[in-house]
Structure 1
C-alpha cells in the first residue's frame, strides 16, 4: 500500500474476505499509509462476506475438572493475561461473589468480615474488591487475604491502589475534576477467584498455573464452542504525529530561570500544579531547551502582566502581551510552532508590566502529520482486553476518565479501535463488539472524521470517545479535535465491566456533530459532552457556588464550542450508577471568547433507572441552545440546573412528561416548554419523535420491536422500569397501572404478535386490530412468566398499513415487552397461515 498511495488517481480498495483474522498485534497504519491527492484508502468487506479482526486467542481442549460444580478447565500458554472471555459470541462473567454482600467493615486499608471462607481463596493477590458509589466505579486488587482479629477474613487492599482510591484521591480541581470524591469505602462485590465460580457463564483465568476455568451455560458444549480469550488491548491503531500532548509544570528541569525569579505555590488561581515561577524585574529571562518542532508556554493573563519578548534559538521573533482585563490561568500566550525537527531553545524576557508568570510547557515533539483519508466499511472489530486494572486498579474520576496511578494525571480507557491525530478517517457500516475497553476513540486532535451507520455494543468501557480532557489550552486549530461526526449508530450495552462508562463521551471538541444515534442499556449516562466543570465560569459565579472568593478562583479558557447534539434517541440508561442523565454536559462551551454557541436539539430521551435529570447540564455548562427535545417516561427532573456556574443557556420549546425541573443557573432562561400528560403528544412533539434516532431505512427491517421502539405510542399512566434482571427483552418493559391505558403501533405486514409478561398482579388486556376488537386476553398467572406471546394474528393484508392497540382492562398492572411483526404470511403443510 505504501508503494501505491503516492501516485493515487482514485480511491484504492482493499477487500477483506469473510472469516476471523486473529491478530498477533494491532493492525497499525500511519501517515505513510494514508490516502493522497484527495482520495481514500478503503478497507471493506468483500461483497456481503463478514470479515472479523479479532484480538483473541481461541481456546480449546476443555475437560471436566470439578464434576460436582460442573467446572471445565483448559490450558493456556504461559504468560497469558486477560480480563475478558467470550463463548459463542456471548460475554462471560469474570467469577465474582454476590452483589452488595454486606458484612464488610473498612479498617485501615482492609475490608474485614466475619465470613471465614475468603481465607480459602487461592491467588489472593489477583482478587479484586469493587465498589459503586454515586457516579463512580472503583476497584482495587488485594495485597492478600489474612485472618481478621477475632476470626473472619481481612481483605487487604493493595496499598498504592487504596491510597489512590481512598486516602489520597487525586483532586486537582478545575479543569481536571470536580470534588475528587466519593472514595473506595465499601464493597459492591468481590471478583476473580476460583472459589467464586458458582454461576453458569462465569470464568476464572489462573495466570500463575496457566489454566482457564469455565462453568458453562445450559446448552453450551465446550467441545464445539468457539471460546475467545482476548489478548490484545486494541485491534486497530491509526496514529499520526505528534500523538498525545500534555502540559508539564514550570518546575520541569529543562527550564532555567535568571536569579531574581521566585516561585509561588499553593496559589488559588488555577495554575498548573497550583504553582508558578514569576519575576517583577524587566530584563529577567526564562530559557527552555527541548527537542521537537514547537513549544507552548503557559502563563497567566492579568491586568498586572505586560509585554514578553520571545527568542527562538537566540533570535528575537516577536513581542507578545499577557495583559488582559481579568485573571486567566494556563494561557498559551507564547506558542512557537513549525520549527525543524531537532533541538531548540525558547527564551522569554520580561519587557513590561508588573509581573511575568510562567506556569507550564507543552512540547510538540514532531511535525503535525495526521494519519488521514482512510475508510473502513463493513468490517467487525472484536475481542480485546485491558489488563492495567489488574495491577493498579481502576482509579475513577468520571465517565471513563481515570487517574494515572503514577503521574496522577488524567487518562482514559483505551479503545479497541484507536485513532490518534487523525483527519478524514471514516468508519461506516462497521461493528465493534466484545471489547475489554472502549469501542472506538477519536483522540488527540482528530479532525473531520466520521463514525456512521455502525453498531457498537458489548464493551467493557464506553462506546465512542471523542477528544481529550487535558488540551483545553489549545488555540492552534490544527491541534483541536474538531469537525467530527458520530451519526446513525446503535450504541448499547456499554460499561459491562467499568460501569461509569457512557455511550458517547466527548471532552474538549469544536464543531462536533452527534446526530441520529440510538443509545440504550447503559449503566451510567447515555451521552456526556464537555469537561472542566466551572473552569470557564467567572470568579463571581464560582463565588456564588461557594467554591472560591471573588478574585481567587480556578479560572481559564477552553476551545470547546459550536458542537451539536441533535436528533438522538437515548433510552434505558443510568441502570447502575447515580448522578448522571440521558444527555449530560459539563464545562464551558463557546470557545475562548464565548461566541461559539452549541446546540442541543431534537433529542428524544426516555426511561432511566437512577436518572437525576433527563437533560443534565451540570456544573459550568454554558452557551447552549437547548430546544425542541422530547422527554418522556422521565425519572427525576426533565431538566435541572443546580448551581450558578451553569450559565447562558436557552431552554425553549421542549416537551416533557412528567413534570419536574429546577433552575439555579445564571442567565438560564426556560421559555415555551410544554408539559404533556397521558401521552397526548402534540403534532410538534410527534415530528420530533419521528425524526429522532436512526433513519427509517436503517430500522425498517426490524421484526422484533422492543417496548422502547419509537413507533409505539403509549397513552395513560405507563411507566418504563429498566434493568429489571427478570428476563424481559433487553430487561425492560412498559407497565400500565390504570384501566383504559393503551399502547398503539402502526405497521405494515401480514401478522403481529404482542409480547409481555404474565404474573399474579396482572389481569386482562383487550387487543384491537384496525380499531376492531379481537377479544379480551388474560395475562394473570400464579408466577411471573416473561417474554410471553399474549396475542398473535397472521392473516392480514401484507401490503396495507395496520394498527394494533393494546388496552389494559383489569388487574394491578399490564405489561408490554414489545411486538413481533411478520412481513409476509407463512404457511404450514396444509396451507394454513402461521404466525411469525
Structure 2
C-alpha cells in the first residue's frame, strides 16, 4: 500500500507525512502511480477546510488498477471538509435603522444559499396572497395596491415567485414590473403553469412568496447583489455577523466522478470520512426556472403547449404527456456516472444547495455530459443534512434510463445502507429523501430518513 498525505495548507510535491501537499498535487501524484498498482493507494487528508476554486474531477486517470483501489480518506480523528464556498468576512453596518449588515464578495458571485454557523439562512422573501394577483399568460396582474411599490424596485429580473403546492414546488423569475403588470421570464412561466399541480392552479396548498429582493429583507434573511458584489444580511437584534461563520456557496458541484464514456468508466475509487459542503444550483433563478414535475424532475427547455394551457392543461393534456421523456433532473453536488466500484463510507453531505449525492443520473444532470452507467456503487453509513434537495438520487428518467441504447448505460448493483438523512429538501420541497428510478438490483436498506417537508 502506498500512502500520500495532503492538507488544506499543503504545498510542494512530496505528499509526505512531514510535508503534505495540496489536493491538486495529491491527485497528480496518484495519476503518476496508478497505472500499474500492486496495492491500494491511500490519500490521507488532514483536518481542515479545503476550499475549491473548481470541482474535483475524477476520471479514468484517477482509477485504481489491478483490482486495487484509490482511497481518499480522512486522517485518524480528523474531519477534512471539501468546500465550494467562500467564508464571508469584513461585515459593516449598512443600515443602522434596520440592522442590515453588508460585506463585499467578488463581483459576479451568485448563489441561492447562505449558511450561518452551520445552518441555512433564508433568502429575502415576503408572502404573496393569491388574491393579490391574477395569473395571466405573460405573468401576473397586481390587484392589491399595497404591492404597487414593486414597479419601482431595482434588479427586478432577480425577483422570483415561489409556489409551494401539493406535491410540486415552483420557482419562476420576474422579467420586469410596470405599473400593475408583472411580466415573467420565459420559458419558465409557461412551463410552471401547465401539467399537474401548477403554479396557477395547485391541487392543494399553493402558498406563494415573492423572493430575492433587498426590499423584502426580514430579520434573519439575506440578499446578494452580484453586480455590485455586495451581500446583505438583516441581523436579529443584538446580533453581528462578524462574530459568526458565514459561508456563501459558489461552486455548482464539488466532485465529479465519470469515465470518458459508459464503455470506459472511472472505477475503483473510494471516499471515506470526508465532509462535502457548500454548493449551489443556479438554474432555478434563470429563465428556465424550476418548473417542477415531482421529485426533482423539471422542464428544462421550451415545449410545444396548447394555446389555452391555463384552462385546458391544468390536470394534464396530450402535449404535456409527450414531454416526459425529455424532463431534466436536478443535479447533485457529488456526481457519479459512467463509473464502477465507487464507494462513499462515513462521509457527510451537508449545506448543499442541490441534491447531495447523484448516482447514474441522466446526462443533463451531470457536468461530464456522460450520464447513467453507474455500476457497483455503494453509499454506507453517511450523513445527509441541511441540504436544499434530496439526499441521494439514483438513476435517470429519460429513455436511455429505462430502455438503454447501450447495455453499459444500465445503472445496476447500487447499495445504499445505514445512511442518516435528516433535514433535506429544505429549498426544493418536492424532493424525496432518497429517490431510486430505473435501476437493476438496488439494495436500499436500514436508512433513517427524518425531518423532511
Q: How many residues align?
A: 381
1:62-100 per-position Cα deviation (integer Å, ceiling 9, x unaligned): 111111111101111111111111112111111110265
Over 3 Å counting, the alpha-carbon distance change for 1:99 and 1:515 in structure 2 is: farther
Report the counterpart of residue 449 of structure 1 in structure 2. Answer: 377
Report the counterpart of residue 293 of structure 2 in structure 1. Answer: 397
Report the counterpart of residue 787 of structure 1 in structure 2. Answer: none
1:426 matches 2:347: no
Q: After the TM superposition, which residues 356-367 of structure 1 pair with which residues of structure 2 at under 5 Å, given as runs?
A: none
User: Among 171, 175, 179, which residue is 1:143 paired with?
Assistant: 175
User: Among 185, 188, 195, which residue is 2:215 paired with?
Assistant: 195
SS at match of 1:2: helix
1:155 matches 2:175: no
Tell me the distance in 2 between the aligned counterparts of 1:372 and 1:220. 48
SS at match of 1:60: coil
1:73 matches 2:102: yes
Report the counterpart of residue 433 of structure 2 in structure 1. Answer: 503
Report the counterpart of residue 223 of structure 1 in structure 2. Answer: 242
Tell me the distance in 2 between the aligned counterparts of 1:492 and 1:402. 24
Q: Which runs of 5+ in 1 are unaligned?
A: 149-153, 170-179, 244-367, 524-836
Greater shift after overlay, 206-215 or 20-29?
Answer: 206-215
Equivalent residues of 1:395, 1:405 under 8 A apart: no
User: Among 419, 426, 434, which residue is 1:489 paired with?
Assistant: 419
Give the alignment's TM-score, normalised by structure 1. 0.44
SS at match of 1:142: strand
1:39 matches 2:68: yes
Report the counterpart of residue 104 of structure 1 in structure 2. Answer: 133
Report the counterpart of residue 191 of structure 2 in structure 1. Answer: 164
Equivalent residues of 2:295, 2:430 under 8 A apart: yes
Report the counterpart of residue 209 of structure 1 in structure 2. Answer: 228
Give, in angstroms, the shift of residue 208 of structure 1: 2.2
Q: Which has the larger radius of gyration?
A: 1
Give the alignment's TM-score, normalised by structure 2. 0.81
Tell me the distance in 2 between the aligned counterparts of 1:100 and 1:488. 42
Equivalent residues of 2:417, 2:443 under 8 A apart: yes
1:628-654 per-position Cα deviation (integer Å, ceiling 9, x unaligned): xxxxxxxxxxxxxxxxxxxxxxxxxxx
1:386 matches 2:281: yes
Q: Which runs of 5+ in 2 are unaligned?
A: 1-29, 202-206, 304-322, 361-371
Report the counterpart of residue 64 of structure 1 in structure 2. Answer: 93
SS at match of 1:97: strand
Give, in angstroms, the shift of residue 402 of structure 1: 1.3
Tell me the distance in 2 between the aligned counterparts of 1:483 and 1:213. 46
Equivalent residues of 1:422, 1:442 under 8 A apart: no
Tell me the distance in 1 between the aligned counterparts of 2:103 and 2:438. 46
Q: After the TM superposition, which residues 535-684 of structure 1 pair with which residues of structure 2 at under 5 Å, given as runs?
A: none
Tell me the distance in 2 between the aligned counterparts of 1:506 and 1:219. 46
1:133 matches 2:63: no
Over 3 Å counting, the alpha-carbon distance change for 1:194 and 1:241 in structure 2 is: same
Tell me the distance in 2 between the aligned counterparts of 1:430 and 1:53. 11
Tell me the distance in 2 between the aligned counterparts of 1:101 and 1:496. 23
Over 3 Å counting, the alpha-carbon distance change for 1:43 and 1:217 in structure 2 is: farther
Report the counterpart of residue 238 of structure 1 in structure 2. Answer: 257
Report the counterpart of residue 317 of structure 2 in structure 1. Answer: none
Tell me the distance in 2 between the aligned counterparts of 1:157 and 1:141. 6
1:439-478 per-position Cα deviation (integer Å, ceiling 9, x unaligned): 0001112011100101011111111010111221127543
Equivalent residues of 1:233, 1:386 under 8 A apart: yes
Tell me the distance in 2 between the aligned counterparts of 1:209 and 1:475. 48
SS at match of 1:83: coil
Report the counterpart of residue 5 of structure 2 in structure 1. Answer: none
Give, in angstroms, the shift of residue 207 of structure 1: 1.8
Give, in angstroms, the shift of residue 155 of structure 1: 2.7
Runs of 4+ that moved beyond 6 A: none
Give, in angstroms, the shift of residue 217 of structure 1: 4.1
RMSD: 1.7
Equivalent residues of 1:101, 1:189 under 8 A apart: no
Give, in angstroms, the shift of residue 108 of structure 1: 3.6
Equivalent residues of 2:99, 2:236 under 8 A apart: no
SS at match of 2:66: coil
Tell me the distance in 2 between the aligned counterparts of 1:219 and 1:88. 16
Tell me the distance in 1 between the aligned counterparts of 2:345 and 2:237. 36
Report the counterpart of residue 460 of structure 1 in structure 2. Answer: 388
1:369 matches 2:264: yes
User: Among 184, 189, 194, which residue is 2:199 paired with?
Assistant: 184
Tell me the distance in 1 between the aligned counterparts of 2:232 and 2:387. 22
SS at match of 1:84: coil
Tell me the distance in 1 between the aligned counterparts of 2:152 and 2:417. 51
1:410 matches 2:304: no
1:30 matches 2:59: yes
Greater shift after overlay, 93-102 or 71-80?
Answer: 93-102
SS at match of 2:413: coil
1:113 matches 2:143: yes
- Higher normalized helix content (fraction of residues): 2
